[in-house]
Amino acid sequence: IDKIRAITKEQWDVVHAGQTTRGHHTIEEVCELYLGQKGRRILMKTATDNIAALLCFLRIALRLKDNDQALALSTTVLTADLVKTFQDNHTRVGSGKTEQAARRSANFKLSHARAVFAKFLLADNLYPNLPDISGFLNVRKLPAVPEVFRFELIDEWCQKIFANMHDLRESDPAAYLFLRLGAGTGLRSREISEALNSWIVGPKGKRMIYVQPTETWIPKGRKIRKIPLGEDIYHDIIALTDGSDWIIPAATTNERNAGVPVRLSAWMKELGWPFKKKVHELRKWFGAQVATQTKSLFDCQRVLGHASHETTNQYYADIVKPPEFTITMDTGGIEPQEPEQKLAVNN
């Protein structure tokens, strides 16, 4: 049975005395297998980014000089201890980053490195000779200070942006439609770039955007979901379409994937947008609207496509149900005094 499995999969080392001797893949072999899936399941750029992150992870963890040394390693090096060594070494790198920024960067690299061994690839038994790498896959990330979501301030600036959308539509229809989809459906920037006209499903009044994989791309976290599509946004899509398969009109594929969000970010910056993130903040604004109207963190997570409920809780828990309580204390007969009227300054 082992012989037949090995021959049909073309992944075997040595057959001796009727049995398959199981060895271990090198990192280079794993990378080649992973890249071999590009036409069927994953985008080439995403694949190469993940492999680059894996090699970077190994270089930092083992203090290697170049990628050739990392590629020659056996997969047996992928252990929980190696992850912890990588985290210690990365946070000590003096690249001008703060400790919190170094932690976020370490978590980012680790996530992409692990993506090479994604669960759906392991389920296909592409790596039959792998050692137990559960430790490498399951070590917790470094705790990092979460970003503060200031809904009131973002809402104020979004209203200023929306007030100038007419001018944007006249000057750059693609960027205008990009803004409409970001704020009106909560799609990620890459999802908007990859959105196809075939994603629009449902009858009038109940139209949805059906986020799903394409031949060359899969959604972040492989989250397939449906999002309500307003009639006004739908009419904008119909009016501004360029007749291609994609929703966003563009002259070339490169412009569709990169040029449009860059131009939209520049336009927002010209209007005085104060936040470091630009297009992605529109998604947060949309999530806040969903949280406010549905009062459901589950609905919010489902529409936004968050892989973890912790992400949803971080930004929208207080919006869905702010804490309401009153604390009274026995002051022993002391009469409360009226507080002095002072101007409160919020830093």
* Residues of the chain predicted below pLDDT 70: 1-23, 36-45, 93-97, 119-129, 144-148, 251-258, 331-347
Global pTM value: 0.63
**Contact at 8 Å (CB) between 27 and 50?**
no
User: Rounded to a whole number, what is the distance in angstroms from the first to the last CA of the chain?
Assistant: 69
What pLDDT score does 285 carry?
A: 94
What pLDDT score does 123 carry?
A: 61
Tell me the two tokens of residue 65: 């000089």
Q: What is the pLDDT of residues 198-241, one digit of tens each?
A: 999 999 889 999 999 887 777 877 778 999 999 999 999 999 98
What pLDDT score does 184 carry?
A: 95
> E-assigned strands of 133-280?
200-201, 208-211, 225-228
What pLDDT score does 253 carry?
A: 63
**Contact at 8 Å (CB) between 80 and 40?**
no
In the chain, % helix, strand, coil (3-state, to 5) comes to 55, 5, 40
Q: What is the pLDDT of residues 100-133, one digit of tens each?
A: 778 888 888 998 899 888 755 666 566 666 778 8
Rg of the chain taking only CA atoms, in angstroms: 25
Tell me the two tokens of residue 342: 């002072």
Buried b (16+ CB within 10 A) or exposed e, 77-101: bbbeebbeebbeebbeeeeeeeeee
What pLDDT score does 126 carry?
A: 63
Q: 26 in helix, strand or coil?
A: strand
